[in-house]
Structure 1
């Protein structure tokens, strides 16, 4: 009996390590693209997102990167609220696209004759560029950083806190990603598929599952690379800004990756503001307070080895 349970555990571990990322990237996204192409009711996409969240929790339970990151530190309800609010904003923007598209001049530019999958991939690449640039700017411009700091207050990384963002910053990021697409005449069906891929990507990017993607980890913006972005020392975490890919980071000179680097909660958060508010409403109001002026240029107190790693 013990040997059987051990065998099952080994199979489950291998399934998460090598199958979880492809299942979400190809399986869930693929199903969402198929539903969007058929113009299925949006509730089906919501159900698919719910399944992706359930898979996220399951993978993190079976094969956690840091077992302690699976335990709530009083933040689970807050993160769930952030996720619900921000995902609602994303879905509302999708619903508004027909009206917004009618106001833009690029109605005839979008390549409607392309295969639907190619249209979605185009939308992903364009959105990735816009979101990455705003993300980069949010680490350089104090007014944006006030709002982005909410996301960087996390001290554990797991799937659901990918959408742990101030809703105003979420809106700015999504506007930067979607506005160029609207100007091209983005169809609402493609926008619906894009909205799902954003949520799936954030689940994978912040996942506590110890999954592997091999050399693709140097190209796709997944959890191995994104943990470097959450290093708490000023300047050290100004890397790997991409949502979908690390391509734009290579062009910006902000790409870094070291597969031997390990992370704990002591590495995450904001060294310049270790006591950032943790409750939802307090996080919404903090950017408007004088205490919300969390400097992006505060002197770093990073260990010497971390400084050396950043200089590579």
Structure 2
């Protein structure tokens, strides 16, 4: 069973779940089937984490399970709302005749994934450099364990900004609503995979796909050191931006995660919504970086 999870979990999520979602969206099937697929993906994520955890202790709630469930519900609702608004947006803002409607549906989804990935990567990068954006993004970096639901644990304003950055170029291109629904499912599945507490393997694809092996480096708590691997779907843009980092020998624990500058970030949902607007929300770095990793550092306020 562990071997099945180690090598089969990622293909199941990327090919089976996403593939079924793309087929449903292409055929115009009920969106309730997409919701069912999302619930199946969440169930698969939690099951895999218990069969083959990267760290056993990350399967134990750190007084964060209910909070993360609220974050997930709110942010997924925002995503669905943005997809529902697409017909109006594309009617007003799109450039006629640009979207490749005659391409196979799966290729249209892949185009949407790559375009959205670039927009989200750039806003993600800016969120580590621009203080006002970092205040909002810090909510996500307050986590002390990495498990599936962490990917949906974001301040709703930051979630909105990232979604807008990923979707706005697609709206201009005339993104069809059916492709947008498939993309929304792909995003949710990717966030589950990227933060998953599963010790899975993808071989050399870890250099290209933005999965948990690379994304754990993004959650290192020291200023600058965690400013790497910003991609949501791929690491292509990180390679081009020279923000890619990976060390196959590195192991992680809760002591490596969070924010060194603010180890006691508010833990409750409402407190996290309010924190970016308080003076303390700036989280100015005041802890020295470990010497062994200083060469990886980039200027940032964490």
TM score, norm. by length of structure 1: 0.94
Partner residue in 1 for 2:268 = 279
1:161/1:206 contact within 8 Å kept: yes
Per the TM alignment, residue 145 of structure 1 is displaced from its structure 2 partner at its CA by: 0.3
User: Equivalent of 1:306, from 270, 285, 293?
Assistant: 293
- Mapped pair 1:22 → 2:8: no
Q: What residue ranges of structure 1 are gaps of 5+ in the alignment? A: 1-11
Q: 2-side partners of 1:300 and 1:43: how far apart?
A: 48
* Structure 1 residue 157 displacement after superposition: 0.3
CA deviation after TM superposition for structure 1 residue 226, in Å: 0.1
- State the distance in 2 between where 1:271 and 1:107 align: 49
Q: Aligned partners of 1:200, 1:249: CA distance in 2, in Å?
A: 20
| 8 A contact 1:147–1:287 mirrored in 2 | yes
CA contact (8 A) 1:63 1:210 kept: yes
Query: Distance in 1 between the 2:105 and 2:95 partners?
Result: 19
Counterparts in 2 of 1:1-312, with a 5 A limit? 12-295=1-284, 298-308=285-295
Gaps (5+ residues) in structure 2?
Answer: none
How large is the RMSD of aligned CA atoms in angstroms?
1.1
**For this pair of structures, how many residues does the alignment match?**
298
Contact 2:136 2:155 survives alignment (8 Å): yes
* Distance apart, 1:294 and its partner CA: 1.6
Please give the alpha-carbon distance, in whole angstroms, between the structure 1 residues aligned to 2:107 and 2:57. Answer: 40
Asked if 2 retains the 8 angstrom alpha-carbon contact of 1:235 and 1:300, the reply is no
- Give, in angstroms, the shift of residue 124 of structure 1: 0.2
Once the 2 structures are TM-superposed, how far is the Cα of residue 308 of structure 1 from its aligned partner? 4.6
Deviation at 1:39, TM superposition (A): 1.1
CA contact (8 A) 1:101 1:107 kept: no
SS in structure 2 opposite 1:103?
Answer: helix
CA contact (8 A) 1:35 1:44 kept: yes
TM-score (norm 2): 0.97
Shift of residue 114, structure 1, vs aligned partner: 0.1
Contact 2:223–2:297 under 8 Å retained in 1:
no
Retained in 2: the 8 A contact 1:240–1:249?
A: yes
Take 2:170 and 2:14, find their aligned partners in 1: how far apart are those partners? 22
Aligned 8 A contact 1:256 1:310 in 2: no
Distance 1:278 1:197 in 2: 28
Asked if structure 1 preserves the Cα contact closer than 8 Å seen for 2:146 and 2:195, the reply is: yes
Give the 3-state SS of the residue equivalent to 2:85 in structure 1.
helix
Instruction: Give, in whole Å, the separation in 2 of the partners of 1:84 and 1:105.
Output: 30
